[in-house]
């Protein structure tokens, strides 16, 4: 499909006719031959002497070339362009960060699955989170792992395959044996700082209590809520344990409440999967769709034709004056 970028330019088509009708003729003084007997010659002819003027006439070829060249130049000014097929682009409408606890306690095998042997906590998390991430096509997802310190494994990205690949290579103890919930939340807040999307979600999974953070996790959650980050906390592990092995459910509940999020607890692999299914239902995939059509400028075609017509007419006139090629 061919359209005009500036169709109003076609209003210039009658401009030469308007100028020809309204503008005064061009006057030019030229040398002349004086006759001593001019008055007698005029009297003999019975004519009246007055100012003379020579109006140059144009041939049909000149007029046709001028009209075509002007029409083509106006058409080029109007900006003809070819519209391509519509192209639809989908961009993320939500940014999501997964913060996964990989402290030493995540190596415990107590995540039952049907009648099979219990899974390591981290292995159960990997299985469920991998499928969860695969279903987030259209969202930008980031990955944070934390133990004694929190590390950004993957910034916010739509490359979900890379996120799941990095998660698959994660092992317990890589970030230290302790648990730094507050630092993980603080790192997530910094990760969201570069985002222009208002819908921001942090899913925080932990099986321990905060023992290594420089920032109190509840205060960090309050800051996150003030900056538009909603936190969903998931507790796994043993609430009756001791020390590093005891999951602090009260802290996870408080973190979720301070940020306007939700809290869940999973004691086996199936419960963990149900929690992520519930999160997926509460936060369905959102995308922003933009459609545009590529445009190819074609103004060079009428402009080139006009130049060829002017050049051809000029050569024709020159050959006509000189009597043609020798």
Residues 120 and 262 in one domain: yes
Which pLDDT belongs to residue 103? 87
Which pLDDT belongs to residue 51? 66
- Whether residue 318 has pLDDT greater than 90: no
Structural domain contains residue 81: yes
Which pLDDT belongs to residue 242? 64
- Whether residue 297 has pLDDT greater than 50: yes
* Between residues 112 and 179, the one the model is more confident about: 179
Which pLDDT belongs to residue 308? 93
Which residues, at least 6 apart from 208, have a Cβ–Cβ distance to it below 8 Å?
Answer: 101, 103, 105, 178, 179, 237, 244, 245, 246, 247, 248
Residues 30 and 175 in one domain: no
Q: Buried b / exposed e across 232-243, counting CB within 10 Å, b at 16+?
A: bbbbbbeeeeee
Q: How far apart are CA 221 and CA 229, in angstroms?
A: 9
On average, the pLDDT of the chain sits at: 84
Which pLDDT belongs to residue 257? 92
Structural domain contains residue 326: no
Residues 279 and 148 in one domain: yes
Q: What range defines the domain where residue 106 resides?
A: 90-289
Structural domain contains residue 279: yes
The CA-atom distances, in angstroms, between 283 and each of 51, 157, 200, 318 are 91, 18, 11, 78
Structural domain contains residue 50: yes
Structure tokens at 78: 């109007």
Weakest-pLDDT range from 39-53, 115-129, 265-279: 39-53
Which pLDDT belongs to residue 255? 92
- Is the CB of residue 82 less than 8 Å from the CB of residue 305? no
Candidates 182, 183, 161, 192; CA nearest to 96 is 192
- For tokens 């899913």, name the residue: 203
Residues 122 and 220 in one domain: yes
Residues 191 and 221 in one domain: yes
* Between residues 50 and 295, the one the model is more confident about: 295
Q: How far apart are CA 126 and CA 321, in angstroms?
A: 89
Q: Would you tell me how many other CB atoms lie within 10 Å of the CB of residue 145?
A: 24
Beta bridge partners of 89: 290
Which pLDDT belongs to residue 287? 59
- Whether residue 32 has pLDDT greater than 90: no
Residues 208 and 279 in one domain: yes
Phi, psi of 291 (to 5 degrees): -120, 135
User: Which whole number is the average pLDDT over 152-174?
Assistant: 91
User: Which whole number is the average pLDDT over 283-287?
Assistant: 60
Residues 188 and 281 in one domain: yes
Helix (H) or strand (E) holding 130: helix 121-134
Candidates 223, 9, 24, 212; CA nearest to 101 is 212
Which residues, at least 6 apart from 151, have a Cβ–Cβ distance to it below 8 Å?
Answer: 144, 145, 175, 187
Helix (H, G, I), strand (E, B) or coil at 145: strand
Structural domain contains residue 311: yes
- Is the CB of residue 247 less than 8 Å from the CB of residue 237? yes
pLDDT cut 90: percent of the chain above it: 29
Which pLDDT belongs to residue 323? 65
60-113 residue pLDDT tens: 888 888 899 999 999 999 989 988 888 776 666 678 899 999 988 888 887 777
Q: How far apart are CA 190 and CA 27, in angstroms?
A: 77
Which pLDDT belongs to residue 29? 75
Residues 102 and 174 in one domain: yes
Residues 158 and 142 in one domain: yes
Q: How many domains does the chain have?
A: 2
- Is the CB of residue 228 less than 8 Å from the CB of residue 256? no
Q: How far apart are CA 141 and CA 92, in angstroms?
A: 10
Residues 97 and 167 in one domain: yes
Query: pLDDT tier at 269 (50, 70, 90 boundaries)?
Result: confident
CATH number at residue 283: 3.40.50.410
Structural domain contains residue 224: yes
Residues 132 and 212 in one domain: yes
* Between residues 318 and 98, the one the model is more confident about: 98
Which pLDDT belongs to residue 326? 44
- Is the CB of residue 126 less than 8 Å from the CB of residue 320? no
Residues 28 and 111 in one domain: no
Q: How far apart are CA 1 and CA 81, in angstroms?
A: 8
Which pLDDT belongs to residue 90? 64
194-224 residue pLDDT tens: 887 778 899 999 887 788 788 888 999 999 9
Which pLDDT belongs to residue 191? 92
Which pLDDT belongs to residue 245? 66
DSSP letter for each residue of 16-75? HHHHHHHSPPP------PPPTTHHHHHHHHT-------------HHHHHHHHHHHHHHHH
């Amino acid at each position: 499909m061919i359209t005009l970028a500036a169709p109003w330019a076609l209003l210039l088509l009658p401009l030469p006719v308007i100028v020809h009708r309204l503008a005064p003729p061009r006057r030019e003084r030229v040398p002349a031959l004086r006759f001593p007997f001019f008055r007698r010659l005029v009297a003999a002819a019975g004519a009246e002497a007055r100012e003379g003027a020579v109006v140059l006439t144009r041939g049909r070829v000149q007029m046709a070339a001028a009209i075509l060249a002007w029409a083509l130049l106006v058409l080029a000014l109007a900006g003809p362009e070819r519209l391509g097929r519509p192209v639809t682009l989908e961009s993320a409408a939500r940014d999501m960060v997964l913060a996964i606890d990989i402290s030493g306690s995540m190596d415990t095998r107590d995540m039952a699955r049907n009648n099979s042997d219990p899974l390591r906590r981290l292995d159960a998390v990997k299985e469920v989170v991998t499928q969860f991430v695969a279903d987030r096509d259209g969202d930008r997802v980031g990955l944070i792992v934390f133990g004694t310190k929190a590390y950004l494994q993957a910034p916010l990205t739509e490359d979900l395959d890379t996120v799941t690949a990095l998660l698959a290579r994660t092992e317990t103890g890589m970030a230290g044996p302790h648990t730094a919930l507050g630092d993980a939340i603080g790192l997530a807040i910094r990760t969201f700082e570069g985002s222009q999307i208002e819908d921001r979600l942090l899913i925080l999974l932990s099986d321990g209590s905060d023992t290594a953070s420089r920032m109190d996790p509840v205060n960090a959650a309050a800051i996150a809520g003030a900056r538009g980050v909603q936190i969903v906390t998931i507790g796994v592990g043993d609430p009756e344990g001791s020390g590093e092995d005891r999951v602090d459910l009260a802290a996870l509940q408080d973190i979720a409440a301070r940020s306007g999020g939700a809290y869940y607890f999973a004691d086996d692999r199936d419960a963990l999967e149900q929690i992520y299914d519930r999160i997926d239902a509460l936060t369905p995939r959102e995308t922003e769709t933009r459609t545009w059509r590529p445009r190819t400028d074609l103004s060079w075609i009428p402009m080139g034709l006009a130049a060829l017509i002017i050049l051809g007419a000029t050569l024709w006139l020159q050959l006509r004056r000189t009597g043609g090629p020798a």
